[in-house]
Structure 1
Amino acid sequence: MNTPSDRAMNPRKPWWRWPALLLGLGLLGLISIYWFRPGWLLDADFARQRWQAGLSRAELDVGVQHWVYVEGGQGDPVLLVHGLAGSKENWYPTARLLSPNYHLLIPDLPGFGESPDAADGHYQVDAQVERLHAFVTAKGWTRFHLAGHSMGGHIAGLYAAKYPESVRSLSLVNAAGVPFPRNAFQAELEQGGNPFAATDLQSLDRFLAMAFAKPPFAPARVRAAYAERIAARAPLWRGVLRQLITEDQRYRLQTELPNIKAPTLVLWCDQDALLDVLSTEVFRAEMPTATINVLKGCGHMTPMEAPTDTAAAMRAIFATAAP
């Protein structure tokens, strides 16, 4: 039995000292990661979003081309295609709302995200359509809903025109491939610029300000880590853009609109500073049966900036498709 003198010599430590020590060590660890390994925080957030969407990462070789993709969810199959300088992660906010009812497949196109560059070096939209078709065929998908954002919309539209038997419905989200009134973004392209090819924090922040009406928050070190990660592909993306804006490629989708038979959603945000919302007038004129939906208060990155409205509009067009 301890005597009062024993307790005086060995005072009991406050109960909160160990939790406080652990909390302090945790905070110190986070601060260290933020300053020295900010890319880990970026990867952790992508992993969190992927988990919330019920998606799993996988890899597949199709001929000489290696693909990295995510897949998950239950229900009718849906293929989601990202845009220029984008990746599968761009679809995660919308995918989280779709995966409870649909089986999603979201690849990194060759030359983007985690997928290596295109083995043949060709990035024209027709070449990307054939590459995507080889991928879905290798996955055993024969009939599915198809959605594409920006460049991915250009690819998806051409895919639906060429392979109508495969596409149950088509969702074109801020899609490239049709003309619109000249804006500052187009003027920069004509002068040889490429806002997509960010190489440092300053150029990334400039691009985010163009792509979003309200850019998502991320600490400066994390944004810098992302800029450093994509900087290695800046030369490639400059070349990709040059291939996409040639006279025979820039408005390739417009020439194929009459050949699209699937129920089609055209979804845009009214503050898109890259591909002007007046692009929708081309679809209105040449696809009179298409559903055209313009969202308010968002920019070019609709699947990230307005995921709830994007998912609702896509579910509605899915429902109109034949079984």
Structure 2
Amino acid sequence: MKSTQSVSVDGLRIHYVRAGQGPAVVLLHGSGSSLEGFERVAAPLSASHDVIRPDLPGFGRTGPRPDRDYRVRTYAGTVARFMTALGLPRFAVAGNSLGGNIAWNLALDAPDRVDRLVLVNATGYPAKTLPAGLRLARNPLLRPLLRRWLPRGATERGLREAVGANSAIVDDAMVERVHALTSRPGNRSAFIDFATTDQPDRSAEIPRIAVPTLVLRSADVDGQHFARDIPGARERVHADGGHLLPEEDPDWVAAAITEFLR
């Protein structure tokens, strides 16, 4: 992977990778992940676009926020200021899971900045099933322990639960990468802070999203009604994907995004 660059936003250094030329698109990873989550989508997309992948605050190399504010709406504001710092007033945004939640909040709060919106198994509806990592982090008995130590086996189990038919992607290299980044100083505590943050329910506002939207969804992933609620949204459903579609089937995701952004 290319070495990361960094820029100062909201009192922390946001690390990112940027490649390609053309209209700007920012790819936002999910919780417990990092910019590597979109790496194999970014490669073909960068043939026609300026592709920017940040490590979101609390994750990857960016690390914890000094103010410990992990509300999704705060993330959306940080991403907007991050893109301003890069000199990009308008851009497309695509997000997986938490990244998708941040992306649609950004489309609501800064519609003048967002050209196109791509939601990949995005979250934000209250009925969504929680992944294993969030369930663990919300357990008050385990919380103090998890701030200090996370067993590698728990990382592997969480990844295996998150994928669909293409479970072969959860190999030693993937587990090691995710575990190492999760174990960076401050990241475990940041994840607990994120997992226990009270997130206001904005799902009733989703029908107000007015930017062109593509919804990419795995058939077995529950709690998503974006195609129903966003006026004019297009939807494509992956028959056997899990929650981590950008890593499970990056060619499918990249082709769908490229076609949508044309």
CA-to-partner distance for each residue in 1:183-208, whole Å, 9 max, x for gaps? 785994797389xx781221112101
Distance apart, 1:238 and its partner CA: 1.6
TM-score computed with the length of structure 1 as normaliser: 0.71
2:11 counterpart residue number: 64
1:230 counterpart residue number: 182
1:176 counterpart residue number: 123
Identity of aligned residues (%): 30
CA-to-partner distance for each residue in 1:71-95, whole Å, 9 max, x for gaps? 0101111111111111111000111
Structure 1 pair 103/183, CA: closer, same or farther in 2 (3 Å)? closer
1:207 counterpart residue number: 158
Q: For 2:128 and 2:14, locate their aligned partners in 1 and report how far apart those are by CA, in whole Å.
A: 36
Residue pair 1:263, 1:317 contacting (<8 A) in 2 also = no
Residue pair 2:215, 2:227 contacting (<8 A) in 1 also = no
Distance apart, 1:267 and its partner CA: 0.7
Q: Is 1:137 aligned with 2:89?
A: no
Residue pair 2:210, 2:230 contacting (<8 A) in 1 also = no
2:258 counterpart residue number: 315
2:97 counterpart residue number: 150
Unaligned ranges ≥5, structure 2: none
Distance apart, 1:218 and its partner CA: 2.8
Q: Is 1:160 aligned with 2:103?
A: no
Distance apart, 1:107 and its partner CA: 0.7
Instruction: Give 1 or 2: higher helix fraction.
Output: 1
Unaligned ranges ≥5, structure 1: 1-46, 51-55
Q: For 1:181 and 1:108, locate their aligned partners in 2 and report how far apart those are by CA, in whole Å.
A: 24
Distance apart, 1:58 and its partner CA: 0.9
Q: Which amino acid aligns with 2:254?
A: A
Q: Which amino acid aligns with 2:216?
A: L
Structure 1 pair 318/201, CA: closer, same or farther in 2 (3 Å)? same
Aligned residues: 253
Distance apart, 1:64 and its partner CA: 2.0
Among candidates 140, 146, 171, match of residue 218 of structure 1: 171
Task: Give the secondary structure class of the aligned counterpart of 1:165.
Answer: coil
Task: Give the secondary structure class of the aligned counterpart of 2:115.
Answer: strand
CA-to-partner distance for each residue in 1:219-268, whole Å, 9 max, x for gaps? 38x7357525523522321220111xx3x53x32x133122111101111
Residue pair 2:209, 2:231 contacting (<8 A) in 1 also = no
1:4 counterpart residue number: none
Give the 4+ runs in structure 1 shifted more than 4 A: 181-191
Q: Which amino acid aligns with 2:160?
A: A
Identify the structure with bigger relative contact order (alpha carbons < 8 Å, sequence gap 6+).
2
Distance apart, 1:306 and its partner CA: 1.1
Matches within 5 A, 1:10-89: 47=1, 50=2, 57-62=4-9, 64-89=11-36
Structure 1 pair 63/129, CA: closer, same or farther in 2 (3 Å)? closer
